[in-house]
Every structure is written in structure tokens, then in C-alpha cells.
Chains A and B, each alone.
Chain A
Amino acid sequence: MSTTALDLRTYPLRDSATMLRRNLKRMLRYPSMTVTLIAMPVVFLLLFVYVLGGTLGAGLDGTVAGAGGRAAYANYVAPAIILMTVTATIQGTAISIAMDMTEGIITRFRTMHIARVSVLTGHVLGSVLQAVFSLVVVIGAAILVGFRPKAGPGGWLAAAGFLIAVAYALVWLAVALGQVSQSVETASNLPMPLTFLPFLGSGFVPTDSMPAGLRWFAEYQPFTPIIETIRALLMAEPVGNKAWIALAWCAVIALGGYLWSKRLFNRQG
């Protein structure tokens, strides 16, 4: 009996690039999803700046530098809206993962000798790119309604890197959520709490104004240091240690999401 040397090498980078191309094509084919995902943070932006901004801005006096009012509130709320853009994007990730799982093409990938993780990394990279695109649109809209970031080129660069890290971490979580969902419906609901988490933090009003229990939660939940870091970077304020806390949270979320996703993907159905 002759033994033939079998070449079973895998090519994770090449396969991930292939899967990324597939996901980008799917996004272009189905642009209504991207539009919906961008619309949500924009609606919240308009609502908070124009409907609530005058009143909420007045309440900022003393807590935040600068005068109160609508203009000050636009500056205050923009980082929360920016984070919301990321959470909206990952809702799309969960939905497209769940759609994939029901469509059967994933089953085909599982029977093929490919770098298995590429099925997931393709989605992750696609979603991060989608988040970047959405962020550009939403930040543009925020500037149109009065957001006046003070960051220089360095600040913008740091903010961009930081936002990509946040998106990357949350996308891995969404990949797991999309896989545990048995239906597209569930997949669109599961990440919903993430969409509302910025409200229970320093995203829309300073935490000082909250009752004690809620304030404790608001100060320690991961989105608060993330929002504060975005705010500090874009408004050219000192970042302090909150950036490290935020990045630590991102690392934990990314690693947890990655391991959970990988386990879900490798389980035998």
C-alpha cells in the first residue's frame, strides 16, 4: 500500500479575502440593509439635537465645558450617536450571519477543505468596513447639525483606530449572536440591548443626574468608557485612563465573541 503525501495546508488569509469579497458583493446587492442601518443613528441624531437638544443642552451647564443649549448638546451627544452607528451595523452582522446559516451555503463551506475560520472572518472584515462607511456618513451628518469636533489630524487618526477596534470587538460578538439565533427575526432582536446600552451610560446625559443604582451601572458598563474616549479624542480633551479601560473591554468582548463564535461554528449539527 503506497502512502501518498497529502497536502492539507489551509490558506486562512486567502480564504478570508475570498469570503470578504463575497460579503461585500452581498452588501452591494442588498443595499437597503445598509441604508436602514445608517438611518437609525441619523434619526436618533436629529431627534436628540433638534427635539430634545435645547432642553438637554441647558442641563449640561457646569457639567460640561462651554455654554449650554442645542450647540453644546450636539457636541455632547455625537459620540453616543457614533457608537450607536457601530451597534446598528453589528445588528446587520447578526442578521446576515443568521441568513447565511439558514441558506445552506454555510453547510457547503463546512464540507469543503477550506480555512474554516474564513467563513467568520469574511463577515467580520465586511462588517468592519461597513461600520467605517456608516461612521463616515453619520459623522458627516453630525457635523451638518452642529457637531464641532476640535481634534487635529492626530486626534482623528486615534479616534478612527479606536472606533475600528470597538467595531471589531462588537462584530465578533454579533457573529456569535447571529449563530445562536435560529431565525433572522431572533438575530435582529438579540443585539437590541446593545443599541440601548448607550442610554444607560454617559451617552445622552451625564451620569451625575441619574439615581444611585443606575449611576453605578452607568459608570461601570463598557459603553461609558468607550463613549468618553470617543468624546475626549474628538473634542481634543485629555483622554486619561478611560481609553485603556475601554480598550480592555474591547479585548475582552472581541476574545469572548471570537471564542464563542468559533465554538458555535465548529459544533456538529
Chain B
Amino acid sequence: MASTHSPAIAVTGLRKSFGDQVVLDGIDLDVPRGTVFSLLGANGAGKTTTVKILSTLLGLDAGEIRVAGYDVVRQPDAVRAAIGVTGQFSAVDKLLTGAENLRLMADLHHLARDAGRRRAADLLEQFDLTDAAGKPASTYSGGMLRRLDLAMTLVGSPQVIFLDEPTTGLDPRSRRDMWQIVRDLVAGGVTIFLTTQYLEEADELADRIAVLNQGRVVAEGSAEELKRQIPGGHVLLRFGDPEQLDAARRVLAQAARDGDALALRVPSDGSLSSLRSLIGLLDDRGVQVDELSVHTPDLDDVFLALTGNPTKDKVTAR
């Protein structure tokens, strides 16, 4: 039964394995209508698998899932009629032009010929593709393909839109364009389920964020709530040589390497007293620090606190 008040997406106890490999190990999600929900996770965390299951492309091993009020297993047709999916990999017909791709979607949604042409033209305009409308999609740049892909998803005016890593591989400008498009869509009242590897992206767009790590949701909440889950930000220490770094590591149990750089991140609330004790600790052992900087908390830190891994290894932060 689809009530207009039911959540856009409700997932309980979702499990999925590929052979022996458990990819989703009991996921619960709840996405209210008209909001942007971001599933944040590293490469291989199971984001695409989740999107495929929610969009009826893939079966599940256990769990209960309702999308737009319909059960994905028992009412896949109703779910499909309510959703639009832009997958991680381009789903346009490269031999057709941009306009032809959009008209194909209009025909499949059974829009009348004139209405379909108008819808295609409007979307081309909205996504800044009018000039390229008559060119085969094979000649499009990555950013244009992504925009066309999303425009095709919108032809049927879906209530719930899935975007699987919509900005991966895009240049910064195209990424910003895509963000603006997402904001405009939400303003129009649809629900968006977005996956990303980028903390910044989740922070920019999402009302709520779930962090997916090793098959489980390790944290969920608004960006603010997640940031509040850890006491403070961190102190970044840079070293001149590996010996100094190792010496500091022996002193600071909570410190984690900052990627491949000769640098350590030490969880800290940034208060004067905590800095004083940190500096005192390093001074006592005669550890040479080239540079010290204080960082107020961001989602990187949340990831660090939640997974015990520096985000550079797990999630690409920019």
C-alpha cells in the first residue's frame, strides 16, 4: 500500500553476499520524502550493490525494503514506475544523439509525440546540452555524458532518484554543475539517494548521511550530528624524516598516518590545554616536529574516528 506519508525508502536488515563474500551485513536505512540521503563509503564498500538492490536490479538475501511505499521483491513493477536510476557507469546509447536518447525515454514513458519533444528540449536546455543535442553521445565529454544520463533519468518525472557516484571522474567544474543540478531537483520535491566516496560531496548535498564500512552502517545522521559524534577535530603534525614520525607514533597511541605524507593526525578538540599537553609530550621525548596545524572537525575526522583508518586510505577526501 503506498501511502503518500510513507518514507521514500525504508530498509531493514538488508543482507547480501556474493558467494562467501558478505557485502551487506544487516543494513537499516530510512529516507524521508523530499530529502537527499547520501551513502558514503570507500571503493568496494557496497554502495553500488545497495543501489542495485533498491532499484530492483539485484536480488537480496534477507531484509525488507520499501521504495516509494512498494516492496522491491513483491512489487518490482510499482517500484520501477516510481524511480529513476543514474548508475555508476554511463547508461546512454552512444550511437544516438543526445536529443534522440531523450526522445527514446519519452517514448518509453508513453508521452505523446509533441509532449515528448518538448520535454526533451526542456531537459536539453536545463542541462546545458542544447548545442550538442544533435551530436552522437559518443562525442560527449565525461561531464556532458553524466548530464545526459541524469536528464534521461528525469524524463519520466520519478519520485525517487538514485545517483550512484554521480561526480566520480568529473573535473571540479562539472562536479559543481552536478551539485547545483541536485540542489535544484530537491527544490522540486523529489527524493534523492546518492552514493559518494567524497566526504565533501555528502557534506555539501545531503540532509542525512550514512557511512558504510565493511558491510555495516557505522554512523548515520546529518553532517552536523556526525561531526558532533567525535569530541573535536585533529592536530596535523608534519615531520622532516621517518625516524621522527616513528618516534612520535610511539608516544601518541591514537595518531594515524595521513596518507603517504610524513604526517600524523592526532584526534584533538583543539583546546589550549590539550595542545599544551601534546607539545609537552613530544618535547619530553625530543621529537622534532616541522609543522603543527589545528583542524576543526570535518567528516574526514568522523571517518577516522569511526573506522580507525585515515580517510585517505578509505575515502578520497578533497
A111-B56 contact in complex given A1-B3, A104-B91, C-beta closer than 8 Å: yes
Query: Taking the nearest CB of chain B, how far is it from the CB of A179, in angstroms?
Result: 16
Contact call B108/A112, Cβ cutoff below 8 A: yes
Contacts of A107 in B (CB 8 A): 57, 87, 91
Contacts of B77 in A (CB 8 A): 8, 113
Q: Which chain B residue shows the least CB distance to A108?
A: B91
Contact pick for B58, options A1, A26, A108, A269, CB 8 Å: A269
Which chain A residues in 1-35 approach chain B with CB under 8 Å?
A: 1-4, 6, 8, 11, 14-15, 18, 21-22, 25-26, 29-30
A30 to B95, CA, bound (A): 8
Contacts of B1 in A (CB 8 A): 1, 3
A112 to B107, CA, bound (A): 12
Contacts of B156 in A (CB 8 A): 112
Contact call A18/B87, Cβ cutoff below 8 A: no
Contacts of A14 in B (CB 8 A): 107, 110
* Contacts between chains A and B (CB distance < 8 A), count: 76
Stretch in B78-86, B236-244, B245-253 with 4+ CB within 8 Å of A: B78-86
Contacts of B85 in A (CB 8 A): 108, 111
Interface of B is mostly: loop
Contacts of B108 in A (CB 8 A): 15, 18, 109, 112, 114
Contact call B95/A29, Cβ cutoff below 8 A: yes
For A, the interface residue count at a CB cutoff of 8 angstroms equals 29
Contact call B95/A268, Cβ cutoff below 8 A: no
A22 to B108, CA, bound (A): 11
Query: Taking the nearest CB of chain B, how far is it from the CB of A111, in angstroms?
Result: 4
Contacts of B216 in A (CB 8 A): none
A6-B57 contact in complex given A22-B93, A104-B87, C-beta closer than 8 Å: no
A22-B104 contact in complex given A1-B1, A103-B93, A111-B55, C-beta closer than 8 Å: yes
For B, the interface residue count at a CB cutoff of 8 angstroms equals 35
Query: Taking the nearest CB of chain A, how far is it from the CB of B100, in angstroms?
Result: 7
Query: Taking the nearest CB of chain B, how far is it from the CB of A6, in angstroms?
Result: 6
A114 to B80, CA, bound (A): 9
Contacts of B110 in A (CB 8 A): 11, 14
Contacts of A262 in B (CB 8 A): none
Interface of A toward B, CB cutoff 8 Å: 1-4, 6, 8, 11, 14-15, 18, 21-22, 25-26, 29-30, 103-105, 107-114, 268-269
Interface of B toward A, CB cutoff 8 Å: 1-4, 52, 55-59, 77-78, 80-81, 83-85, 87, 89-96, 100, 104, 107-108, 110, 136, 152-153, 156
| Between-chain CB contacts (< 8 Å), 20 pairs | A1-B1, A1-B3, A3-B1, A3-B2, A8-B77, A14-B110, A18-B104, A18-B108, A22-B93, A25-B100, A26-B95, A29-B136, A104-B91, A105-B93, A111-B55, A111-B56, A111-B80, A111-B84, A112-B80, A268-B58
Give 10 A-B pairs besides A8-B77, A22-B96, A268-B59 with Cβ atoms closer than 8 angstroms: A1-B3, A6-B2, A6-B78, A22-B104, A25-B95, A26-B95, A29-B95, A104-B90, A111-B83, A269-B57
